[in-house]
Structure 1
Amino acid sequence: MSQDPNLFWFGCILWLVSVLVIFHLVYSHPPAKDAVSQKQVHPIKYAYVINTDEEKEIAQLRQECARLRQKLQQQSQKLREDFQHNTFYQLETLLTNYPTVCKVVQEHPDLPAKNILPLFKPLDKILDHWGYEAIGSPLAQVPYNPQLHQPDDRDITVGELVYIWFVGYQDPKLKYIISPAIVSRNLPEIPNSNKSYAVTLVNSLD
């Protein structure tokens, strides 16, 4: 049976058209997988931008913290220097005379204490300047208060009458005890000797 040549060429043309159509469909419309891959690129890129901005902000915060820390250190040093200078000016007379007084006392041990006491006046001035108040007065008899007093004997009870040997100091504004007063049941004994009263007190506490 003979084959019609027209049908043969018609089949070839139809096959060629089919191939072209399939080729066009494949390359003009990428698979869904490629589309998903393209969509995934944008969130990653966006996240990278966010991380970069956060790193810049963190770096700026670190620089600001370092600057503030340095500023606080400078202010602290300045306050310390100002305090030292102000304290020195308050005690200038005592500090400048103290070495000479020590030398004179060594060479003249019988020098009356009343000639030296005026040199300690700057101490009263600086205590007034700081607003500190004395706790009690020397040799005064007062009821024992453990918040204000430091006893020389542990068995002293609250409210018991004691004598103040050395005064203490407190800051009334802050309600803070800077140094408690040293107290005892008995008055210090002052022997008949050439020792000064202050030396006797100190030796009695040892």
Structure 2
Amino acid sequence: MGTSNMSKTFYNGSVFLSIGISVIILFYYAYLMPLHIDEAGWWFNYTSTSWKNRFNELDPVAQFNGPFHTLSTYLAKLTLPFFGQNGIGWRLPVIIFGLLDCGIIYFFIKTVTGSEKTARLGAVFVLLNPFLNHYSHESRSYVILFFFSTCAYLCIFHLFRNPGKKRDWFLLVIIFLLSYTATLSAIVFLFIFMASLWILKISNYYMPLKKHTE
């Protein structure tokens, strides 16, 4: 019994320690990185310029004229007055969504598997994921898209169990709209999402979801 409690304490301590260190690293690198590295400084010039002058310094041959990561850019307008023109002021919305990704994955895994231990482990792996960890301290909206896409899958699992629930249908539509305000990369998510529905439908025929969610 003592060994079991010790293992549980060590496991929980490792989980919280990993999350705590990851949060510190996110803030550290967000403050350390110069603003010209990502959209932080570049899109500030875009959103702070009159509409007719917004495209003067953009190269239409090299890229489209328009903000690719709109939500992270305009959310930063809320944090800049409090934190100033620095890495934290520009990248705080992305850091927050990076931490929300950890929370939504925890909730998603716990909903699907019913295991709190597995859910905690999944949350830690999300923060340790190099791709997500990197973009959680850059002013780009990939982590925001990850959050909304996971919410969409969570709605789908709820709808599998209760197809007539109007709230989940409404949330699913809102999430799709929010995904497209986050980044133009959301168009990729649409195809992946539709493909996943077919995979889940076929899997549900051979392995009914109720066995895993109830």
What TM-score, normalized to structure 1?
Answer: 0.24
More RCO (CA 8 Å, sep 6+): 2
Greater per-residue strand proportion:
1
Greater per-residue helix proportion:
2
What TM-score, normalized to structure 2?
Answer: 0.24
